Amino acid sequence: MRIPLIDLQAGFRPIRDEVLQRFDAVLDTMQLLNGPNVEAFEQEFAAYCGARHGVAVSSGTDALCAALWALDIGAGDEVIAPSHTFFATIEAIMLAGATPVLVDVEPQSLTMDPEAFCAAITPSTRAVIPVHVYGHPAAMEPIVEISRPRGIHVIEDAAQAHGAWYQGSRCGSLGDMAAFSFYCTKNLGAYGEAGMVTTDDEAVADKVRGLRHHGQATRYEHVTLGRNLRMDELQASVLRLKLPDLDHRNRRRSAIAAHYADALAGHPVQVPAEQPGCTSVHHVYAIRSPNRDALKSYLERAGIGTGVHYMVPGHLQPALQHRPHRIAPMPVTESVRHQVLSLPMFPELTDEQIRYITDHIVRFFEQSTLQAAHA
């Protein structure tokens, strides 16, 4: 049996005909940008998240950049973020001209440690970007409570958290702004690149709308320096098709996570666990093992795809080394980068495939125990 880490074809086949019909409808009009699908998707996704405004952009990275630009964050400002994240979180801070300040994560959820965040604040701190990593919400309540009296903007990096819940509210409605990615592998994925900024602040939303279209206010008037950050109609049509099924697909991810956890209980591997008040959408199912590299090789020989998130954390990335930045102590991040292993996770994963995966993990540890006993 061969099982990929992610199977995009399995998700595409059931909706192929409708996707192509929607593409045909867009191409018949040739209104490829700034059309009805983008406008409708902005409203639908913002409502889904519980936010007042949604502004569609060209990628998740551009959503982060636009959020920072809209807040006039730049040179001389510091933005705090976790090191255990995809580099785009940190890259956006640098692209805005600000200084990234990287902090450690909590040992259970691997999301930003609020105490580490608080300790890293200086008079130059303008914003914090908690990341809902792997689809699990960050500890937003203490992060917001720390930020509000200090005037620090809270920007959720919700690229992996479409539909996740924190204390009864959806991710995307918990801070001042949120940045989503609709990259093809996400829980809600386009067939290309796309992103969105959600916010309750109308003035900020209007500023992002201008920024995404070269700072244009009217057809011939550019009132600020912007970028080309537009989502196209083809991607919006796909996302509108997929959005109504998102909760159902997230529930299947949760069921798969429960299967994994039950089968691996009692074995020397740490499985993800939802923290109180949180509902993860299991974008990535990352287990932890001190024998990570050997386990990864064993599974791959059995035809099981795996991944490592994130083998080289942000504070060790070469692109950061010769640019201004600050780093806090990283004991958890440094430890888990040698332990984390991502197992296959997509809604079409069958129970038979899950058993095949977990049987091989159990067999790996049984063989390791026997080898140790005879050493």
* 140: in domain: yes
Do 239 and 261 fall into the same domain? no
Amino acid at 193: E
Per-residue pLDDT band at 87 (split at 50, 70, 90):
very high
Domain stop point among 244, 271, 306: 244
The dihedral over CA atoms of 184, 190, 194, 200, expressed in degrees to the nearest 10, equals -110
- Which domain does 306 fall in, by range? 246-374
d(CA 342, CA 310): 10
Q: Which of 187, 217, 244 is the last residue of a domain?
A: 244
Quickly state the pLDDT bin for 34 (edges 50, 70, 90): confident
What pLDDT, on a 0 to 100 scale, did the predictor assign at position 219?
78
194 — pLDDT class (breaks 50, 70, 90): very high
- We report the CATH number of the domain holding residue 352 as 3.90.1150.10
Query: In terms of domains, do 212 and 81 share one?
Result: yes
Tell me if 335 is assigned to some domain.
yes
Specify whether 53 is located in the same domain as 86.
yes
Other C-beta atoms closer than 10 Å to the C-beta of 163 total 24
Residue 216 structure tokens? 């244009």
Same domain, 279 and 229: no
Mean pLDDT within 16-35: 95
What total of structural domains would you count in the chain? Answer: 2
Q: What's 81's domain CATH number?
A: 3.40.640.10
Residue 375, pLDDT score: 56
Please state, in angstroms and rounded to a whole number, the distance separating the CA atoms of residues 143 and 140: 5
- Looking at 225, 244, 263, the residue that finishes a domain is 244
Q: Do 357 and 304 share a structural domain?
A: yes
Report if residue 2 sits inside a domain.
Answer: no
Check whether 236 has a pLDDT greater than 70. yes
Q: Are residues 32 and 54 in the same domain?
A: yes
